[in-house]
Amino acid sequence: MTSRATGCLALLCGFVLAGLATAGAAERAQVARTGAPADDRFPVATDARLGGDSARTRLVIDLSRTLPLTAFTLADPYRVVLDLPQVTFSLPPKAGEGGRGLVKAFRYGLVMQGGSRVVIDTSAPVRIDKAFVLDPIDNQPARLVLDLVATDRDSFMRNLALETRQRRPPETVQREPARRSDDSRPVVVLDPGHGGPDTGTIAASGEMEKAMVLDFALALRERLEKTGKYRVHMTRTDDRFIPLAERVRIARSQEAALFISIHADALARNDGETRGATVYTLSEDATDAEAARLAEAENRADVIAGVDLSVEPNEVADILIDLAQRETKNFSAQFARTLVGELKTAARLHKKPIKSAGFRVLKAPDVPSVLVELGYVSNPKDLKLLMSEAWRSRVTESIAQAINTYFTTRVAGQAPGRRAN
Ligand SMILES: [Zn+2]
């Protein structure tokens, strides 16, 4: 086999894959929904396999072409992270859900412009024995190969310390400079939860929270922009991971007058009754066990997508003890009440629709912030609503109305907010 023949084959393979990636309306809709780029500039991951046992496990990912990769480990829980250039993941639907050997499960997705990530949960401390990409050969595609071997915790932690020293600080999402303009309209920041490797909750039928809340936030942005009263900014507009602290930083750098994080909850066991929307504000003491459970689940985003929290700058925690916080808290509570009042007319609410807990994404000390759980993807009736265009337009309308009321009241009361214009 000459290298020219191999090259032709690879080219043909790439061409066929590119064709597949753009074929079919259903697929295009899927791409639009998840924000995955339909772009043959990026390598395509087409399949993934696990082999081996609890002493040694191999993960193989088929790729349309070779690419460079960086592999490193994270502790508590034990994870292996593969950082890659931007990849279009076109893996079978359940890929990564089941484990084998040392691998419990893995997730994948976009973490920044030009960067994708695979996060592998391992059942025990592991050592990365090999991590490389094989060139395509004969009729085999390029293959990413990761070999993990079992090790003990002490060795794992020693390796981790070594890796951390060698590794560049984690890439932060490109910051947009704060818009300083003559435009004095209040800034509303919409924050669709999750994204990229962090899918959020998943319905039994496969719909993902990250896609539902993005669709919702885009519709809400459109609705708000139509009023002409606000500048609307979003923490993400496609399917990518944004660390929680970065979402808070975006709100602060945009000098947001209001921050709304949008989510959809799920119960591990659907009781058939728990359903409806809930509005959460920040509190160190959770209203009840259910609120504490939820905050813990939402705060796990960084663990899920593979960002090591120990190396994240924690500027927000430091400013938490700030006088501004009390005022912010009052405004958050005021908006939460207004929002529930409006939502009541458009949507079904949880039986206790206002709660608070320690959500990390609500911790901007100077931006009134709420987190809205639109409903339960684990409840078939809620899920049907969450997927319905009519419901979405009704609910975005009522949220827009609540925002109008909130700002009108603030101006009328001459609240000492930064944007009492
Ligand atoms: Zn969520």
Q: What value does the mean pLDDT take over residues 35-53? A: 83
In CATH terms, the fold of domain 187-412 is: Aminopeptidase (3.40.630)
- Extents of the domains making up the chain: 3-17+35-166, 187-412
* Residues, beta carbon < 5 Å, ion ligand 1: 193, 200, 263
DSSP 174: P
Architecture of domain 3-17+35-166: Sandwich (2.60)
123: which 2 tokens? 């059942």
Q: What's the 142 CA to ligand 1 centre distance in angstroms?
A: 35
Q: What value does the mean pLDDT take over residues 46-65? A: 97
Sequence-distant (6+) residues with CB within 8 A of 281 are 329, 332, 333, 336, 354, 355, 356, 362, 369, 370, 371
pLDDT in tens, 141-171: 999 999 999 999 999 999 888 887 776 554 4
pLDDT in tens, 334-376: 999 999 999 999 999 999 999 999 999 998 888 999 999 999 9
Name the residue type at position 209. Answer: E
188: which 2 tokens? 């509303």
Q: What's the 22 CA to ligand 1 centre distance in angstroms?
A: 30
- Give residue 274's pLDDT: 85
Residue showing tokens 């921050």: 259
Q: What's the 392 CA to ligand 1 centre distance in angstroms?
A: 17
Q: What's the 7 CA to ligand 1 centre distance in angstroms?
A: 45
Statement: residue 24 has pLDDT above 50: no
The C-alpha atoms of residue 162 and residue 75 are separated, in whole angstroms, by: 13
- Dihedral sign for Cα atoms in the order 95, 97, 100, 101: positive
The C-alpha atoms of residue 66 and residue 11 are separated, in whole angstroms, by: 12
pLDDT above 70 covers what percent of the chain? 81
DSSP assignments along 84-138, one per residue: EE--EE---TTTTTS-BTTEEEEEEEEEETTEEEEEEEESS-EEEEEEEEEPPBT
**Whole-model pTM?**
0.81
Q: Lowest mean pLDDT: which of 110-114, 185-189, 222-226, 237-241?
A: 110-114
Q: What value does the mean pLDDT take over residues 315-326? A: 58
Q: What's the 207 CA to ligand 1 centre distance in angstroms?
A: 13
pLDDT in tens, 122-147: 999 999 999 999 999 988 999 999 99
pLDDT in tens, 283-316: 989 999 999 999 999 999 988 888 755 444 555 5
Q: What's the 388 CA to ligand 1 centre distance in angstroms?
A: 19
Confidence of residue 416 (pLDDT cuts 50, 70, 90): very low
